[in-house]
């Protein structure tokens, strides 16, 4: 099969002919129909995850058609349309038994990270990690559900426990942020979008953001306070995760507000005076990917047309290097999908 293989950090992917994945008794063989490209893929390819061994086929946002199954698989048939949950959780540890598979204590890897993923014509996965997608959901839309969409749902519904009529400010209007605008509305919040690119803010507005703010224009705190009658926002979802964005967010959170961190940076740690947190009883909450139940929830939301995943462009698999270059240059609006 054809695959785009990463053999050296910081170097382009190479097109190779590699063997089909060998499936076990409990696995599925899936013909990749679409694979989303996440900025995490760029970080991996750049060498920021040195624990990941090479060579590797990246790609953790995968949707496709079942073309083979292990002899112990009974709930899938060839021809089924599926997307994948990419955390290979054990199902037995305390985290898994508590329904927090994203925090598995005996994680067996992640598709597209530690095991080969969707930058290829075929991928294998345990049947337990495949989710059927309805006929009215395209492969392109389904591919990005497990990360770009379900990550936002997990962060806002589970971690922030966002309530109807609350205010939500989303820092970053990229591949995740534009999906999060829709999720925030589904949960009943009044959504603000913050970015440094006007074209992204325009799209956030089209997707339903009540107000948008360009961080480069200055006076961000004053502008947001003006929209909240001086109170501040209930929740900030930071999809950038840099020292600057975190400290900025703390200036316009209301007393008792929540800052949820999904974005992360390896550049430097963030620094904040503890008194800032204490005096206003602010909460800083981490949110890692999603759980299987979150993925099923967003599949249902898309199937019932309550949200529509925003896929801005599709490219042939062979153009993955160009896509990564454009992501580095901040030239991508929304989520891009590769098609083998």
Please say if the pLDDT value at position 8 is more than 90: yes
- What pLDDT sits at residue 267? 86
**53-86: per-residue pLDDT in tens?**
999 999 999 999 999 999 999 999 999 999 999 9
1 by Cβ neighbours in 10 Å (0-12 / 13-18 / 19+) ranks as middle
Provide CB contacts within 8 A for 35, sequence distance 6+.
59, 61, 62, 63, 117, 118, 119, 143, 317, 337, 338, 339, 340
- CATH homologous superfamily of 2-144+309-339 equals Medium-chain alcohol dehydrogenases, catalytic domain (3.90.180.10)
3-class secondary-structure state, position 276: helix
Q: How many CA atoms lie within 13 A of 285 on its CB side?
A: 21
Positive or negative torsion for Cα 263, 265, 269, 271: negative
Alpha-carbon distance 191 to 193, whole Å? 7
Which pLDDT band, with edges at 50, 70 and 90, does 142 fall under? Answer: very high
- List of residues 6+ apart from 273 with CB closer than 8 A: none
User: Across residues 305-333, what is the average pLDDT?
Assistant: 95
How distant is the alpha carbon of residue 180 from its chain centre?
10
Convert the pLDDT of each residue in 173-185 to its tens digit. 999 999 999 999 9
Mean pLDDT of 101-127: 98
Task: For CATH 3.90.180.10, list the domain ranges present in the chain.
Answer: 2-144+309-339
Q: Taking the alpha carbons of 222, 228, 230, 235 in that order, is the dihedral positive or negative?
A: negative
Residue spans in the chain of domains classed CATH 3.40.50.720: 149-286
Model pTM score: 0.95
If you average pLDDT over residues 99-113, what whole number do you get?
97
- Separation of alpha carbons 61 and 148, rounded Å: 8
| 79 burial type by CB count under 10 A (0-12 exposed, 13-18 middle, 19+ buried) | exposed
Query: What is d(CA 37, CA 315) in angstroms, rounded to the nearest whole number?
Result: 10
Residues 6+ apart with CB under 8 A from 328: 42
The reply to whether CATH 3.40.640.10 applies to domain 149-286 is: no
Percent of the chain with pLDDT over 70: 100
Mean pLDDT of 241-266: 96
The pLDDT score that the predictor gives to residue 218 is: 82
- Contact between 154 and 35 under an 8 Å Cβ cutoff? The reply is no
Contact 280, 257 (CB under 8 A): yes
DSSP string, 130-160: EEE--TTS-HHHHHTIIIIIHHHHIIIIIIS
What are the b/e assignments for 167-177, b being 16+ CB within 10 Å? bbbbbbbbbbb
Strand locations in 232-303, DSSP E? Answer: 233-238, 253-261, 283-286
> Does residue 84 sit in helix, strand or coil?
strand
């Amino acid at each position: 099969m054809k695959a785009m293989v990463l053999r050296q950090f910081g170097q382009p992917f190479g097109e190779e002919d590699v063997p089909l994945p060998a499936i076990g008794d409990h696995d599925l063989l899936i013909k990749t129909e679409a694979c989303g490209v996440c900025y995490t893929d760029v970080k991996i390819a750049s060498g920021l995850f040195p624990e990941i061994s090479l060579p590797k086929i990246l790609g953790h946002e995968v949707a496709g058609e079942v073309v083979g199954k292990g002899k112990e698989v009974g709930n899938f048939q060839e021809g089924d349309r599926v997307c994948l949950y990419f955390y290979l959780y054990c199902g037995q540890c305390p985290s898994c038994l508590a329904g927090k598979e994203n925090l598995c204590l005996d994680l067996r890897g992640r598709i597209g990270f530690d095991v080969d993923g969707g930058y290829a014509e075929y991928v294998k996965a345990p049947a337990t990690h495949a989710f059927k997608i309805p006929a009215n959901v395209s492969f392109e839309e389904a591919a990005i559900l497990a990360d770009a969409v379900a990550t936002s749902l997990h962060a806002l519904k589970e971690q922030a426990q966002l309530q109807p009529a609350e205010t939500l400010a989303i820092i970053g209007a990229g591949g995740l942020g534009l999906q999060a605008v829709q999720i925030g509305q589904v949960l009943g919040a009044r959504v603000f979008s913050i970015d440094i690119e006007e074209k992204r803010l325009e799209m956030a507005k089209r997707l339903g953001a009540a107000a948008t703010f360009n961080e480069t224009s200055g006076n961000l705190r004053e502008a947001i306070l003006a929209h909240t009658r001086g109170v501040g926002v209930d929740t900030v979802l930071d999809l950038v995760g840099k020292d600057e964005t975190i400290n900025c967010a703390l200036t316009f959170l209301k007393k008792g507000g929540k800052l949820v961190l999904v974005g992360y940076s390896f550049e430097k740690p963030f620094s904040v005076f503890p008194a800032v947190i204490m005096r206003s009883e602010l909460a800083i909450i981490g949110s890692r990917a999603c759980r299987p139940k979150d993925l099923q929830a967003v599949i249902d939301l898309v199937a019932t047309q309550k949200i529509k995943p925003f896929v801005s462009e599709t490219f042939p698999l062979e153009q993955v290097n160009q896509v990564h270059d454009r992501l580095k240059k901040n030239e991508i609006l929304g989520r891009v999908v590769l098609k083998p």
